[in-house]
Structure 1
């Protein structure tokens, strides 16, 4: 598995560019603030950390959408980033822009670094002003806490995904 880097860059009001890179390839997609793309992305990574087998997130690109598909296999995640015509387009009709197999830990680290860098560069108020929505603090902290949930020996209940002792 090759190193994973994710960057989230606000370039224009209400528009962000997300770049994902490993040693094999790179893809850049954009997202509009009209949906909660960053929150979906962070929640998806958190769900993988908490042992969900699959998770997904979608960035609205107006008119196309960019879909992150995650599949857990043990401690690894198969990741696919697709471009689809719209949110109703089936996954199998989307164009794969990037794919990689990464450890879930590497995916978690890359996601945290991406949004920690945003707060370092812009601050939460600057982010909200430039993006048009509040910074996804709750989702970022839930991802951070997911590691502690696993380390403390709590595993999610298989029926509902909530951590249990």
Structure 2
């Protein structure tokens, strides 16, 4: 199996968990919080998708779907287009209001499609390309992609768990 096939499978897994967390969800649960400082399902899915969009577009040398495909306008969130949730305060999480689960699903599907198209172009040698020299050791493309997968799966799992907890309240 090629390395890119493993990466494709992992990103497919992220999409599966995202779709499962949102399938048939009561829209009111998207912005519900377990406590005043807790993340919401909407924020978790938006954030994981924004990070994937941002990081993969950067290493692919393409514009993010967020701006290129008009997702920023459709979401109409009160943040600059460059925002992806990293470093957000509890108040910022609360201002990430998304009441349509399909909007989250569709944005994630677009980012996933773009990610998969990029991954299909990679050779094993490409994964050793240094993409960020601000770290010691410098970050390679392979490490960056695995980092995105790990972060995405963690947040997607949190969204799924949060949905289950909220539905059982």
Q: Give the strand-richer structure, 1 or 2.
A: 1
* Larger RCO (alpha carbons 8 Å, 6+ apart): 2
TM-score, with structure 2 as normaliser: 0.33
